[in-house]
């Protein structure tokens, strides 16, 4: 079975894209859990955070830079937002291509569910 986020990155499936460069893409989550819910996804296929190699360290940092840019675009940077990366089933990971959730536009609670 094809990877959903590889297919979105390759434009084989539609998405509401907010940012894209040669290394990564950011698009709206189809089932938003907050007024702002954006997924920041590397174009390189990495299944889970456990598969991030030292060579990928810059790429993971890049995902955070993109999340900051999109938070600014959405006007929530100063109010605050939450960045989440789920790893494996107990965390709730359902798409096995790493992605940073950027959630905001409402008060976040702690501990998370």
Residues taking part in catalysis: 99
| Residue that has been written with the tokens 């950011």 in this structure | 26
Please give the residues from 10 up to 29 whose contact with ligand AMP meets the rule CB under 6 A.
15, 29
When binding is defined by CB under 6 A, the residue of 6, 52, 59, 95 that contacts ligand AMP is: 95
Query: CA-based angle 112:45:59, to the nearest 5?
Result: 75
Among 38, 39, 97, 102, binds Zn ion (CB under 5 A): 97
Residue pair 5/97 in contact by the 8 Å Cβ criterion: yes
C-alpha 49/C-alpha 55 separation (Å) is 13
Choose one: 58-66, 72-80, 87-95, 104-112; the region binding ligand AMP (CB under 6 A): 87-95
């Amino acid at each position: 079975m094809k990877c959903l986020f590889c297919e979105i990155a390759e434009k084989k499936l539609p998405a509401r894209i907010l940012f894209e460069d040669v290394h990564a893409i950011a698009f709206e989550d189809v089932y938003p859990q907050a007024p702002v819910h954006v997924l920041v996804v590397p174009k390189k296929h990495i299944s889970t955070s456990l598969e991030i190699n030292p060579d990928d360290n810059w790429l993971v940092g890049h995902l955070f830079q993109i999340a900051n840019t999109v938070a600014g675009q959405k006007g929530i940077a100063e109010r605050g937002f939450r960045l989440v990366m789920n790893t494996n089933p107990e965390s709730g990971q359902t798409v096995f291509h790493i992605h940073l959730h950027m959630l905001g536009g409402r008060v976040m609670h702690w501990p998370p569910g």
